[in-house]
Structure 1
Amino acid sequence: MKNLKNYTIVLLLLVFSGCSEDIESVNYDEINPSIFPSSEADIQAIVASAYYPLRGSYGNGIHSTSENGLMFILDATTEILQGPYGVQQEASLHSYKASSTAFTRFYDVFYNKISSMTLSIDRIENSKVNELIKKQAIAEIRCARGLLAYELFDLYGPLVVAPLEVLKNPLKEEPLARLSNAEMVNFIENDLKAAAENLKSPAETPYGRLSSGMARMVLVRLYLHEKRWAEVEAQTNAIIGMNYYGLEDDYVGLWDVKAPVESREVIWAVPADYAGTSENQWQLMCLPANFPGRGGYGTIQSSWKFYDSFEATDIRKNALIAEYTGTDGVTYNRANPANYMQLGPIPLKIDPDAARTTALTTVDIIVYRYPDVLLSKAEALVNKTGTPTQEAIDLVNVVRKRAKISELQLVNYATIDKFNDMILLERSHEYWCENGQYRSDLIRHGKFTEHAKALNGAASQSEPYKALFPFSLARISEGKGKFIQNTGYIN
């Protein structure tokens, strides 16, 4: 991979890895602030620590492509992915409850990382390092904190966000209540706005690092979540106005073994490597053991319902593998699925990387791309006024043209309901198996439960309250009456 990618990987490895006998993990929450940070290198090490929970890692990286990561578990609550057993099936059937650790773990594992970033910002602010270096470092950490806080908010609703004075007095036990929705949104919004103002432009930002474009992209997602349409439009216009981003001609090539380091379409990606510093395990998750080249565990499939929703010529459908001949010489497909395709095709959006020698791949984890900006602006334009427009249709057609499918005509989407149904479908087709945000799209339009029941029929346990995941019983107990469980969950 290119030097920038290697630099990011090496820096993370040096700071955090416990894989080598010669490298010890460093906990910056236990370092004496009177002597650390005292140099630019110290500041950069603290910034690198903010990326640690955002990487792809089975144990503690929120963008893992395993069942411990957002994409896998969130897309599995929709028609994009289905699981025949385990937590995958629990996600598909919406049968999760407060004792379902696969669904409560995201809060339990990651909420304290927000506190760690708060302490990091305070340490940098009080350091004697160059003010410009401090400003850039704080902006990067605030973007990371805003992103992580948004992702947890999207899963659970408002969180507990410990104020700095509480964090600086850790020996005093002080149960805290969750923020109100307005307070939570304000916290995330303030972080991302400050980051957007002070981070470097996409053109100046090394691949894999957070830029002003990424800060604005997460603001778009936050404002979509809150249906603040005018602000979605303003932020998408700001991103478009950077005159940097655009669509690649080669859609499939974005997920090649060679990282899209120079791509103007990628807003933010998590670099992956064989060493496990940041892991991409997707082939292992979705490929059957008998898949030609190198197989996997076959833990997850797509659904035939999702597959059938694509137009025949849509190139985005090609990575949904509807037929293959296994190493046993048998051809598997919808008519002969065995236990490999009984729910749907194999969702292999990334390069098979058949030459990989470990369970991991170097295909990077793309989290946000420019088409989301175009589709988000189209949705905002229509929902702000309640009337579909030619401008909105034209934005959608930019994405569809690259997908090799027919252009839409405004006359066929003249009502807001028809337009929103279309935009939801287009989002699912463009963004399947990327950041898991299609779940949030369905929730925003009141379709989450409806789609789950249409997919699974009587087996579905979906209810409107399942739009939020439960918190663990341990967190509720720790709260001593201040921490309130999400509505609907009792055990």
Structure 2
Amino acid sequence: MKNLKNYTIVLLLLVFSGCNEDIESINYDEINPSIFPKSEADVQAIVASAYYPLRGSYGNGIHSTSENGLMFILDATTEILQGPYGVQQEASLHSYKASSTSFTRFYDVFYNKISSMTLSIDRIQNANVNELVKKNAIAEIKCARGLLAYELFDLYGPLVVAPLEILKSPLNEVPLARLSNAEMVSFIEKDLKEAAADLKAPGDTPYGRFSNGMARMVLIRLYLHEKRWADVEEQANAIMAMNYYGLDADYVGLWDVKPPVNSKEVIWAVPADYAGTSENQWQLMVLPANYPERGGYGTIQSSWKFYDSFEATDIRKTALIAEFTGTDGVTYNRANPANYMQLGPIPLKIHPDAARTTALTTVDIVVYRYADVILSKAEALVNKTGTPTQEAIDLVNIVRKRAKISEIQLANYNTLAKFNDMILLERSHEYWCENGQYRSDLIRHGKFTEHALDLNGAASQSAPYKALFPFSLDRISEGKGKFIQNPGYN
């Protein structure tokens, strides 16, 4: 166990901190490209910098498990999470607007990282190092750029993507317009397809790094977003044909203190460590202060509506804590929620890690799993033709069987509407508190506003335009008329 933890921490330092002996982050965008990179070690340091914004850091890691991360905010716009105050309540009520910095910040903090990766690719292409090293490095950066671009596109719609020639002339201030939807999709798709062609197979890829399976997984998410069902099926088939991935028998154990380094289900995870190189703060976010052994801030809850949607024997419900006896000796539950469970159960998902010595935990942040491939293919098969099939039902049952619940029958889901309602529910049960993509699932099926209104009633400020987040007023101003705000926020 100790050796495995040491391995994970060392890998994190390599992945997220480059080759600096003092383990300090380096802004590679400020390094003179005429003298860097000069060696294979320099190239690997640049690759490490591409992973840097994708880690779990509170300040500048987009996969933070705090309110500054995707999962927290995006699941809070659905019935999976609810917030009693602050930014989490804004998310729950869909009350965000252009002045809501917690919602505009994802673009403000991370959009220029796409430009940084574009410059990194150019520097590596022009480096005098081994061609295979260059090819592998560029593939990793393209996967990172494709992933980050997709995540921001999912939040805001098309982005500004600066061309290389403009990035090479930073002193020339050129206002740029957002890409069209087709241009944005093409940009992401090209990166991910090229990455999939050159990245290593999952069995040859170190834990925490990108494989060709990961590139194809993000392509699935992109194609789901665009309802390109045949393309979803194609990428799912390609991943399945690798004959590498499979469901882990122990669903709950995927979020144990022991990292799932050898799990064939994990497509990509962000390793976490006590040093804060990449932080997992989820226990701190969800556990009440009086939780036994070690508590937290209790900033977010699930909803009783979500809790009640599970079948009684579903093991995926295990970590939705509906009752606990606090350090004050009082038992809290739905009947006696106090300020800890008034909206819903505690959505712990990961191991409590009561032995942790700091506010952080070493439970890794699992972002993508093979179960997503299975359910995505099932959805694609049905929506491609408009008719549910036994093949799609069988795929769903693979996931349900692992969850210890009954198999479903085609006769009960024999229309497109019935099947899609079922697949949405199944996705919410399988992926809650992982990558926040259930919001996108609801949007894809036209249910985002409907679910928000049903959950919060008259208090909800949801509307169809809230499916996209707003851009900050600063970005609009900088655009000098070329950068157009999303509809509804003017």
TM above 0.5: yes
Alignment of 1:266-281 (within 5 A): 266-281=266-281
Instruction: Please report how far the alpha carbon of residue 4 of structure 1 lies from its aligned counterpart in structure 2 after TM superposition.
Output: 4.9
Instruction: Please report how far the alpha carbon of residue 14 of structure 1 lies from its aligned counterpart in structure 2 after TM superposition.
Output: 4.4
* Aligned equivalents of 1:192, 1:3: Cα separation in 2: 31
Alignment of 1:306-455 (within 5 A): 306-455=306-455
* Aligned equivalents of 1:14, 1:247: Cα separation in 2: 31
* Aligned equivalents of 1:248, 1:198: Cα separation in 2: 27
Instruction: Please report how far the alpha carbon of residue 23 of structure 1 lies from its aligned counterpart in structure 2 after TM superposition.
Output: 5.8
Instruction: Please report how far the alpha carbon of residue 13 of structure 1 lies from its aligned counterpart in structure 2 after TM superposition.
Output: 6.1
* Aligned equivalents of 1:390, 1:54: Cα separation in 2: 38
Please name the residue that 2:207 is paired with: 207
Q: Deviations over 1:124-162 (max 9, x none)?
A: 000010000000000000000000000000000000000
Structure 1 runs of 4+ with >6 Å offset = none
Distance 1:24 1:250, change over 3 A: closer
The answer to whether the Cα contact below 8 Å between 2:268 and 2:366 also exists between their aligned partners in 1 is: yes
* Alignment partner of 1:9 is 2:6: no
Aligned AA (1:7): V
The answer to whether the Cα contact below 8 Å between 2:83 and 2:300 also exists between their aligned partners in 1 is: yes
The answer to whether the Cα contact below 8 Å between 1:161 and 1:178 also exists between their aligned partners in 2 is: yes
Q: Deviations over 1:328-359 (max 9, x none)?
A: 00000000000000000000100000001111
* Aligned equivalents of 2:389, 2:430: Cα separation in 1: 21
Please name the residue that 1:283 is paired with: 283
Please name the residue that 2:222 is paired with: 222
The answer to whether the Cα contact below 8 Å between 2:17 and 2:52 also exists between their aligned partners in 1 is: no
* Other structure's SS at 1:48 match: helix
Please name the residue that 2:57 is paired with: 57
The answer to whether the Cα contact below 8 Å between 2:353 and 2:361 also exists between their aligned partners in 1 is: yes
* Alignment partner of 1:117 is 2:117: yes
* Aligned equivalents of 2:335, 2:24: Cα separation in 1: 53
* Aligned equivalents of 1:268, 1:26: Cα separation in 2: 24
* Other structure's SS at 1:61 match: coil
Structure 2, unmatched stretches of 5+, are none
The answer to whether the Cα contact below 8 Å between 1:334 and 1:342 also exists between their aligned partners in 2 is: yes
* Other structure's SS at 2:53 match: helix
Aligned AA (1:131): E
Alignment of 1:293-304 (within 5 A): 293-304=293-304
Please name the residue that 2:235 is paired with: 235
Alignment of 1:182-193 (within 5 A): 182-193=182-193
The answer to whether the Cα contact below 8 Å between 1:321 and 1:348 also exists between their aligned partners in 2 is: yes
* Aligned equivalents of 1:164, 1:398: Cα separation in 2: 45
Distance 1:223 1:291, change over 3 A: same
Distance 1:25 1:349, change over 3 A: closer
Please name the residue that 1:179 is paired with: 179
* Other structure's SS at 1:62 match: coil
* Other structure's SS at 1:57 match: coil
Distance 1:3 1:340, change over 3 A: closer
Instruction: Please report how far the alpha carbon of residue 43 of structure 1 lies from its aligned counterpart in structure 2 after TM superposition.
Output: 0.5
* Aligned equivalents of 1:185, 1:318: Cα separation in 2: 38
* Aligned equivalents of 1:196, 1:10: Cα separation in 2: 25
* Aligned equivalents of 2:13, 2:107: Cα separation in 1: 28
Distance 1:373 1:159, change over 3 A: same
The answer to whether the Cα contact below 8 Å between 2:16 and 2:48 also exists between their aligned partners in 1 is: no
Please name the residue that 2:257 is paired with: 257
State percent identity of aligned pairs.
85
Instruction: Please report how far the alpha carbon of residue 25 of structure 1 lies from its aligned counterpart in structure 2 after TM superposition.
Output: 4.0
The answer to whether the Cα contact below 8 Å between 2:266 and 2:370 also exists between their aligned partners in 1 is: yes
Please name the residue that 1:38 is paired with: 38
Q: Deviations over 1:302-343 (max 9, x none)?
A: 000000000001010111000000000000000000000000
Q: Deviations over 1:399-433 (max 9, x none)?
A: 00000000000000000000000000000000000
Give the RMSD, CA atoms, in angstroms: 1.2
The answer to whether the Cα contact below 8 Å between 1:16 and 1:25 also exists between their aligned partners in 2 is: no
Aligned AA (2:252): V
TM-score by length of 2: 0.98
Instruction: Please report how far the alpha carbon of residue 11 of structure 1 lies from its aligned counterpart in structure 2 after TM superposition.
Output: 2.0
The answer to whether the Cα contact below 8 Å between 1:4 and 1:207 also exists between their aligned partners in 2 is: no
Please name the residue that 1:476 is paired with: 476
Instruction: Please report how far the alpha carbon of residue 28 of structure 1 lies from its aligned counterpart in structure 2 after TM superposition.
Output: 1.1
* Other structure's SS at 1:367 match: strand
